[in-house]
Structure 1
Amino acid sequence: MRRIALLFTLLTALLLPAAATAGPAAPDVSRAAAERALDEALDAFREPLAASSGPAAGSREVTGALRDLAVAVPALGKADRRRARSLLARPTDKNDRAYFGKEASDSPICNANFCVHWTDKAANKPVSGFFLGQILASVDLSRAVENGTLGWRDAKSDGRLGSRKGKGAEGQVDVYVTNLGKRLYGYAAPDGGQRGQRRYAYLVLDNNYVGFPTNPLDSMRVTVAHEYNHILQFNYDVYQDLWLFEDTATWAEDKVYPGINDYLNYLPAFARKSSRPMTGRSIKIYAEAVWNHWLSANYGDDVVRNTWRVSPKQKSFAVAAYNRAIKDAGGPGFGRALGEFFAATAEWKLDADFPDHGEYPDVKRAGKLTGRKKTTLDNTSYRLYDVEPSADPEATLKVRAEKGTETSISLVGRTGGGVVTTETAHLRKGGTGTVTIANPGAYARITAVVANVDGSSKVNRKGKRVYKADGSGYRVSLKG
């Protein structure tokens, strides 16, 4: 927003809610890191949104880029702060990179919780009035499920921001409809000018959803459920790790619309890349919704919401937040639970803990386990190995993990009739462990699971979090 300082100050005083109360300190963002965040946000808007092209899958990256930028703004220089505010501005702002044109005369339509805004500009206007009505119905349903059934905290009020012609001045969540092109479903963005862990935000949706894997109305619906969950997340902890933002929002999609199953489009990224960390920033983090589905099945839906609730006291660190929430739900903590989840994925097509499990792809095996193998694994990653069923009385997996690396090992047997048996050992501080499955010849398939479930981290001299157990070495052998 290229506004003069005085005008910005006056608008802030008139429109924005009172500043957040003091809470945990903001992350210490360096100038270099802030400039990288600005560059990434600029890249997301490098071309006019409507000019985007290419495959739709994996195109929800704008929310993360704008979140990173919102947190980084205070560390930017004066000129870069102006550029950042322009990127964070709403589509109704003429200085916004994504300005959608003059707002339609009868825009917005509002209820007690939401306002939907649009333009009549040819390129950006919604496909129909019916479509606008469906958007309002979808945000209402998303709120009913996410805030009502699942018990999430309401979105933070933005006061009078977005109000027009006397409508939308009660802190409703503002939803803007415009042409986002073919590679972007939608995004949520915290408004500029805020500090603190809990922030208000707005939501932007495409005007027709043509060109996505799912039909247009269903694509819009799951996008609303996904991005609205980001709006709620911003009122818990805007500083949280990106992977928790996305695996939770993708999980929420299926809670609101269990029959659409758009998340299945992302599962190949998980099934093919089990040796990549859960804690990354690739498309895989959307597929990690299955981790939350597994947690929900074993500890209840509240465990996901409570991960966000405890986040501020866990220093905005996803592993620690999950650990606390799992223990509070009566579970064993993050590492053990993750090991059990990884073992479950070996035969997840038969596991009722996973919704739609019959549609899941097989998790890729790293080959057949014969003799001895050496391998390395980064944090929160694992490998599956095929084990040949034999006539021996038992089969034993022996693993020597790097000292200090929390590890989980399993043997998973599936009979021809679909009965699954799992034997697991947990090595809290690494070292050597074994796990044995009896009568291996009774199984149609046996899988060995070797998992680095260590999520411990430290902050390096550059202020970047690094995971201590990355590159951990393993010696793996099979007897029997």
Structure 2
Amino acid sequence: MSAFRHRVALGLATLVASAVGSAVPAYVVTTAEPTPTTDASPAAAASRPAARAALVAARRLFARPGPTTYRARAVPSAGAREATLALRDLRVALPGLRGDDTREAERLLARPTDAGAAGTEGFHYAGPSRSSCSAHLCVHWVDRGQDAVPSTDADGDHVPDWVETTQQTLEKAWRSFAAAGYEAPLGDGSLPSHGPDDKVDVYLADVASLGFYGYCPTDSLADGARKAVGYCVFDNDYSYDEVSTEPIVALRATAAHELFHLVQFAYDAREDPWFMEGTATWMEDEVFDAANDNWNYLSTSTLAHPGVPVDFGDDYYPYGAWTWWRFLSEYFGSDKKSAPQVIHRIWDAAVSRDSLSATRSVIATLGTTLQRTFADYSALSHVSRRWYFEGDDAPYPQAPMARRLDLSRRHPGTGSMRTVRLNHLTSANIALHRSSTLPGRLLRLWVDAPLRRTGAAAEVTLHKRDGTLGWRTVRLDADGDGVVTVPFARGQVDRVVLTLVNASTRMDCHRSTTLACSGMPLDDWRPFSYRARTLR
């Protein structure tokens, strides 16, 4: 087997998710904004276009139409939350901006109560605000104008009911994080513009009118700093007309997701999108199991699109990555009990390394490898509803087949070797069905994959006539070659699914992409060949 290497220059949109003809979106390696320097060196000057790109991205998110169409920008419950990382990127890019661009960025990053920040960018209170503090948070609101909260105050304590509901929901999320052992969000000090004390501040404003459930920006992120202080802006009422779901459901999902971003900032505010958004979306289900807003992102998971890398950091795919983190918690659990502490351990490890390296190191301490774990994740994805704990209720996608091959008396095998190409952290399912006329009781499969050390793996699933499943691992040698023979008798097995897996985590890091460690993958577009034949 000849070695194959495919490297892609930065900025080229040339990688396709799959060459097998399945209906999957394009996978494109895109560049993210590098961290600008703060001096007047050529490096700083070179970073300004990238810094402006971060500004343009944030500007588009917060663009407001005219007053007559202000509410027409509401989006369904599929819920845009990308403002948090867009504003994180803008905070990182801020030193690379100049003049009016700097002032615009500062207004976008400003808190609603910041003096002198009022303008068309971001959300800023038009009048005086009030606040109410609980054990760990202070909630701020206004009584008049576009951002006013509903005035209902059933207990007559001069704090609107919706403010109290928001406080109670946030405190439940906070207690859940603390019980799981996570670091608490960092305090912001006692600056006058940050509220009465150093508790975390949450501002209520009409953010749903621009398509947000909420967002949590960083207050600062100095050059080289990894930890950051932040605050949150939540919607002022989560009106059903704006979010297309029950207000309390939207609030609970937002509280768990966005407050967990502040927890992440206490570890590493510069982490990868798939890790930050994926674990925040996973956390929604951990804190408020019945909210289920995370189900909206199943359509952008690798369950639905196995040809898209699980660490793909563009569009809504980072949110869909929650299924990987859910898989890890269930995979290392037992007796229908998940082990969510696995994710906590990965965040602890990520303080000193990138997300993939942290995941790989934690899995190694559990007695296996990321390569084997991702292979199992991939093989189970086409029967996800039978494997995940919530499979009976949640609309988990069943990973599609890349190819279907029907074996018969006339065509008892595939003939010559067939090939698919896989990018890193992707897979392809090959379904082999038997006809009633096919002789033979066994099926032999040959696999010719890339070098095993690059992450190549293969597994076989037996779909039996009685509805049960059987599993086999194709043991690959160092060159990536392997063969396995499995039962295929008429009346016993309906079909066999061969799952080919590129579990490579080899990256050339710090190349300003939106993938893990901002890197370029070293093992994309690798050829995986296979052949099958029935045996008497």
The two structures have a TM-score, normalised by structure 1, of 0.85
- In structure 2, relative to structure 1, the CA distance for the partners of 1:131 and 1:257 (3 Å cut) is same
Supply the AA of the counterpart residue of 2:219. Answer: D
Amino acid at match of 2:443: A
171, 178, 187: which is aligned to 1:140?
171
Measured after TM superposition, the shift of residue 263 of structure 1 is: 1.3
Q: CA deviation at 1:345?
A: 1.2
Q: Map of 1:53-452 to 2, 5 A cutoff? A: 53-57=74-78, 59-77=80-98, 79-93=100-114, 94-95=116-117, 97-102=121-126, 107-128=130-151, 129-148=160-179, 150-161=180-191, 168-169=196-197, 171-180=198-207, 181=209, 183-192=211-220, 194-195=222-223, 196-209=225-238, 210=240, 211-270=242-301, 271-280=303-312, 281-299=314-332, 300-314=339-353, 317-328=354-365, 330-353=366-389, 359-369=395-405, 371=414, 372-389=417-434, 392-403=440-451, 405-425=454-474, 427=476, 431-439=480-488, 441=490, 442-452=492-502
Q: Deviations over 1:83-136 (max 9, x none)?
A: 32222111222515223324555x211012001111223211123422222111
Aligned counterparts of 2:100 and 2:464: Cα–Cα separation in 1: 65
Q: Is the alpha carbon distance of 1:400 and 1:121 closer, same or farther for their aligned partners in structure 2, counting shifts above 3 Å?
A: farther
Q: Secondary structure at the match of 1:197?
A: coil
What residue number does 2:527 align with? 473
Per the TM alignment, residue 76 of structure 1 is displaced from its structure 2 partner at its CA by 3.3
Q: Is the 8 A contact 1:100 1:124 kept in 2?
A: no
Report the Cα offset of residue 58 of structure 1.
5.1
Report the Cα distance in structure 1 between the residues aligned to 2:164 and 2:431, rounded to whole angstroms.
Answer: 52
After superposition, give the CA deviation of every residue in 1:306-353 in whole Å (9 maximum; x if it has no partner). Answer: 211111321xx221111112223x142322211111111121111145
Q: Which moved more, 1:254-263 or 1:408-417?
A: 408-417
* 1:60 and 1:187 in contact (8 A); partners too: yes
Q: Residues of 2 paired with 1:86 and 1:183: CA distance?
A: 19
- Secondary structure in structure 2 of the residue aligned to 1:455: coil
Using the alignment, how far apart are the partners of 1:243 and 1:429 within structure 2?
30
Distance 2:276 2:317 in 1: 13
> Quick one: distance in 2 between partners of 1:178 and 1:377?
45
**C-alpha deviations, 1:148-176, integer Å up to 9, x for none?**
2x211110111124667xx631x211111
Say which structure, 1 or 2, has more relative contact order (CA 8 Å, 6+ apart).
Answer: 2
Contact 1:394 / 1:438 at 8 angstroms: preserved in 2? yes
Aligned partners of 1:103 and 1:117 also within 8 Å: no
Does the CA-based 8 Å contact 1:413-1:420 persist in structure 2? yes
Instruction: Please name the residue that 2:409 is paired with.
Output: none
Contact 1:250 1:286 in 2 (8 A): yes
Query: Contact 1:405 / 1:428 at 8 angstroms: preserved in 2?
Result: no
TM-aligned CA deviation for residue 250 of structure 1 = 0.6
Counterpart-to-counterpart distance in 2, 1:338 and 1:289: 14
Match of 2:27 in 1: none
Check conservation: 1:405, 1:472, Cα contact below 8 A. no
Flag the 1:183–1:437 CA change in 2: closer, same or farther, 3 A. farther
Identity of aligned residues (%): 27
Q: Is the 8 A contact 2:126 2:145 kept in 1?
A: no
CA distance in 1, matches of 2:479, 2:390: 29
CA distance in 2, matches of 1:429, 1:34: 45
Name the amino acid aligned to 1:248: T
Query: Is the partner of 2:440 in helix, strand or coil?
Result: coil
Question: Which amino acid is the alignment partner of residue 92 of structure 2?
Answer: V
Task: Give the C-alpha shift of residue 182 in structure 1.
Answer: 5.6
- Deviation of 1:51 (Å): 5.3
Question: CA–CA distance in 1 between the matches of 2:253 and 2:192?
Answer: 24
1:221-266 deviation digits (Å, cap 9, x = unpaired): 1111000111100110111110000110011000001112111121
| Cα distance in 1 between the residues matched to 2:61 and 2:141 | 22
1:46 matched to 2:77? The reply is no
Question: What is the RMSD computed on CA atoms of the aligned residues?
Answer: 2.7
Tell me if structure 1 keeps the 8 A contact 2:511–2:519. no
* Structure 2 residues not aligned, in runs of 5+: 1-33, 38-46, 152-159, 333-338, 407-413
Give the AA of the match of 1:322.
T
CA distance in 2, matches of 1:278, 1:100: 37
Partner of 1:12: none
Question: Is the CA contact (8 Å cut-off) linking 2:430 and 2:498 kept in structure 1?
Answer: yes
Q: Structure 2-normalised TM-score?
A: 0.77
2:57 aligned partner, one-letter code: E
Distance change in 2, residues 1:161/1:388 (3 Å): farther
Partner SS for 2:181: coil
Kept in 2: contact 1:152–1:232 (CA 8 A): yes
In 1, Cα distance between equivalents of 2:318 and 2:475? 25
Q: Which moved more, 1:443-452 or 1:377-386?
A: 443-452
| Secondary structure in 1 matching 2:63 | coil
Whether the 8 Å CA contact 2:274–2:318 is kept in 1: the answer is: yes
> Is the 8 Å Cα contact of residues 166 and 251 (structure 2) preserved in structure 1?
yes
Max Rg structure: 2
